[in-house]
């Protein structure tokens, strides 16, 4: 057995007993022992306890996907794949947490734990010496679905999830492409915030197993080569930037779009591999970035100071186009896994903000003013579609106000565990969404629980990992600063802002009040 841990020094030791919490009585214990013994000799799907009996599960996390826009764009005929998922599945609103900080909520979705339990509290944090650091996987204190599935012998592929760098080792053949955020992305002017991460070519500890790195590097090269045409395929011919403000916003959208594209490449590869993973999870973030930036262009009538007509003409479709990109991606993933259970969800909804504000003021010049936001935690989207789910559709013409509340972001992980036949932890903040599962699913795989999935060995391993976090960060940042010119050029082509190595490390600042809302 491999040790679990990160792939750059230092590794995280700590293996633990996998079966003890799951096994509840002697006969089951015997059966599991038998299956475990058999699996030592015959490593096949059929030997994995119950894993082979479930449909594969595909989870698509879409940052900031808003029901109102989904319904509106679906009615315009722009979202054929979401429309099908809504018509064939169980759909409704997903209540979220406040403050709506992406790394915090996506980690709650991944762990089922409250922020105070899982330990990711913001985009970045300052240490005792007052130095700012990006929140990484090393700060996470709770097991995420990739840990829980691996421990239970399920295969799992994860792409682009928040706070997954440095990537963790996954047992049972799991694979992962991390969303990498670097110190250079810390935005001190806005408070200690960062923009969305991506896969960075040729840098360490971003893929599990490490051999997946060269495959991702080739995806980066191919995307950089075709950057303009790829952008045009989604957003149409290049729009003329009318001001530095619009230019800065458009750059951020491009960066998030290219990052999502790489995660889509990785998810496609994963779904083409045989045998299929029990769970494939991918995160897309461009919808959130576009909605922060271009709400005023999308809905100029809602603003006291709308943008000039030529800007609306050039950028009014950006949000729509990102929704179309997500929809097309969903279509591709579904075609690759036609028999899978699909869950599409967002961490929160979105709406216009700063509607009275004059965007021509000085703030606008720096791009630090936003016309869309989610600071008041509007509910997100939840759609589950596939053989394990009841059918309780949302019609395209529905009114947002009439949509049912399916559950909260806390309930997602317990539900994923139920679908994988793994007991949920009673210390988790949510519970499985029993009402979305068919009677046959519940009968074949009754929902089970254990007191907790956390244990002393895990906690000790996480504590050791955190002790080495500074070293891991230095190692990575050092590698980032010595990238050769060719790779830097490639990364620039797909929107990554290469750090300015001539300037000293940015001055430490305390994290801003998270209650003031996320800007990413
Ligand atoms: Zn946001």
State the distance from the centre of ligand 1 to the C-alpha of 22, rounded, in angstroms: 38
State the distance from the centre of ligand 1 to the C-alpha of 291, rounded, in angstroms: 8
Question: In Å, how far are 11, 188, 200, 227, 257 from 495, measured between CA atoms?
Answer: 31, 20, 11, 9, 9
State the distance from the centre of ligand 1 to the C-alpha of 433, rounded, in angstroms: 26
Distance CA 138, CA 373 (A): 29
State the distance from the centre of ligand 1 to the C-alpha of 51, rounded, in angstroms: 35
State the distance from the centre of ligand 1 to the C-alpha of 348, rounded, in angstroms: 8
* Range 155-177 burial, b when 16+ CB lie within 10 A, else e: bbbbbbbbbbbbbbbbbbbbbbb
State the distance from the centre of ligand 1 to the C-alpha of 185, rounded, in angstroms: 16
> What is the model's pLDDT at position 190?
63
Mean pLDDT of 465-481: 87
State the distance from the centre of ligand 1 to the C-alpha of 107, rounded, in angstroms: 15
Alpha helices in 119-202 (DSSP H): 145-151
Mean pLDDT of 108-119: 97
The model's confidence at residue 446, banded by pLDDT at 50, 70 and 90, is: very high
Helix (H, G, I), strand (E, B) or coil at 162: coil
Residue 9 confidence (pLDDT) above 70: no
pTM of the model: 0.86
State the distance from the centre of ligand 1 to the C-alpha of 33, rounded, in angstroms: 47
Beta bridge partner(s), residue 168: 6
State the distance from the centre of ligand 1 to the C-alpha of 501, rounded, in angstroms: 28
Residue 199 confidence (pLDDT) above 80: yes
The model's confidence at residue 481, banded by pLDDT at 50, 70 and 90, is: confident
> What is the model's pLDDT at position 407?
98
**If you compute the radius of gyration of the chain from its CA atoms, what whole number of angstroms results?**
22
| Contact of 106 with 94, CB cutoff 8 Å | no
> What is the model's pLDDT at position 192?
62
**pLDDT over 90, % of the chain:** 65
State the distance from the centre of ligand 1 to the C-alpha of 396, rounded, in angstroms: 25
Identify which of 82, 86, 57 has the alpha carbon closest to the alpha carbon of residue 341. Answer: 57
User: pLDDT tens digit string along 177-188?
Assistant: 999 988 777 766
Distance CA 60, CA 460 (A): 32
> When comparing pLDDT for 519 and 416, which is higher?
416
State the distance from the centre of ligand 1 to the C-alpha of 372, rounded, in angstroms: 8
Residue 197 confidence (pLDDT) above 60: yes
State the distance from the centre of ligand 1 to the C-alpha of 411, rounded, in angstroms: 21
Identify which of 326, 446, 318 has the alpha carbon closest to the alpha carbon of residue 50. Answer: 446
* Average pLDDT over the chain, rounded to an integer: 84
Q: Which helix (H) or strand (E) holds 39?
A: helix 26-41
State the distance from the centre of ligand 1 to the C-alpha of 285, rounded, in angstroms: 9
The structural domains of the chain, ordered by start, are: 21-343+355-377+395-493 (3.40.720.10)
State the distance from the centre of ligand 1 to the C-alpha of 289, rounded, in angstroms: 6
Distance CA 364, CA 320 (A): 23
Structure-block tokens of residue 50: 């119950």
State the distance from the centre of ligand 1 to the C-alpha of 43, rounded, in angstroms: 43
Asked whether the CA dihedral 208, 213, 215, 218 is positive or negative, the reply is positive
State the distance from the centre of ligand 1 to the C-alpha of 374, rounded, in angstroms: 7
State the distance from the centre of ligand 1 to the C-alpha of 287, rounded, in angstroms: 9
Distance CA 425, CA 369 (A): 41
> What is the model's pLDDT at position 45?
32
> What is the model's pLDDT at position 191?
63
Residue 115 confidence (pLDDT) above 90: yes
């Amino acid at each position: 057995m491999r040790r679990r841990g990160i792939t750059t020094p230092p590794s995280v030791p700590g293996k633990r007993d996998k079966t003890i919490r799951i096994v509840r009585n002697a006969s089951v214990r015997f059966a599991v022992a038998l299956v475990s013994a058999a699996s030592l000799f015959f490593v096949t799907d059929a030997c994995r306890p119950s894993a082979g009996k479930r449909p594969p599960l595909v989870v698509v996390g879409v940052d900031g996907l808003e029901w109102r826009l989904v319904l509106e764009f679906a009615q315009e005929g722009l979202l054929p794949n979401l429309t099908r998922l809504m018509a064939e599945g169980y759909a409704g609103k997903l209540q979220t947490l406040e403050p709506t900080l992406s790394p915090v909520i996506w980690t709650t979705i991944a762990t089922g734990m409250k922020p105070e339990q899982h330990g990711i509290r913001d985009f970045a944090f300052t240490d005792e010496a007052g130095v700012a650091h990006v929140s990484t996987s090393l700060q996470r204190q709770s097991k995420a679905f990739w840990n829980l599935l691996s421990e239970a012998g399920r295969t799992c592929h994860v792409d682009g999830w928040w706070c997954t760098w440095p990537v963790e080792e996954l047992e049972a053949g799991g694979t992962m492409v991390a969303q990498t955020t670097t110190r250079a992305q810390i935005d001190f002017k806005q408070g200690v915030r960062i923009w969305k991460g991506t896969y960075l070519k040729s840098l360490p500890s971003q893929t599990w197993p490490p051999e997946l790195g060269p495959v991702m590097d080739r995806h980066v090269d191919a995307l950089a080569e075709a950057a303009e045409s790829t952008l045009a395929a989604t957003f149409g011919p290049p729009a003329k930037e009318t001001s530095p403000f619009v230019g800065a916003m458009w750059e951020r959208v491009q960066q998030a779009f290219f990052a999502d594209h790489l995660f889509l490449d990785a998810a496609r590869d994963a779904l083409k591999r045989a045998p299929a993973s029990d769970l494939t999870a991918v995160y897309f973030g461009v919808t959130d970035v576009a909605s922060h930036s271009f709400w005023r262009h999308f809905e100029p009538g809602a603003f006291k100071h709308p943008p000039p007509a030529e800007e609306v003409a050039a950028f009014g479709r950006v949000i729509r186009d990102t929704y179309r990109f997500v929809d097309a991606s969903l279509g591709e993933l579904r075609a690759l896994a036609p028999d899978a259970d699909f869950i599409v969800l967002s961490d929160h909804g979105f709406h216009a903000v700063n509607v009275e504000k004059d965007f021509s003021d000085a703030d606008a010049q720096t791009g630090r003013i936003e016309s869309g936001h989610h600071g008041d935690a509007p509910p997100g989207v939840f759609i589950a579609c596939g053989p394990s789910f009841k059918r309780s559709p949302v019609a395209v013409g529905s009114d947002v106000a009439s949509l049912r509340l399916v559950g909260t972001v806390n309930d997602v992980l317990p539900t994923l565990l139920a679908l994988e036949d793994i007991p949920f932890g009673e210390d988790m903040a949510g519970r499985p969404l029993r009402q979305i599962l068919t009677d046959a699913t519940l009968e074949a795989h009754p929902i089970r629980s254990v007191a907790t999935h956390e244990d002393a060995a895990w906690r000790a391993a996480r504590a050791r990992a955190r002790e080495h976090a500074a070293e891991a960060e230095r190692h990575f940042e050092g590698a980032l600063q010595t990238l050769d010119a060719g790779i830097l050029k490639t990364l620039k082509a797909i929107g990554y802002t290469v750090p300015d190595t001539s300037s000293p490390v940015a001055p430490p600042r305390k994290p801003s009040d998270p209650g003031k809302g996320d800007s990413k």
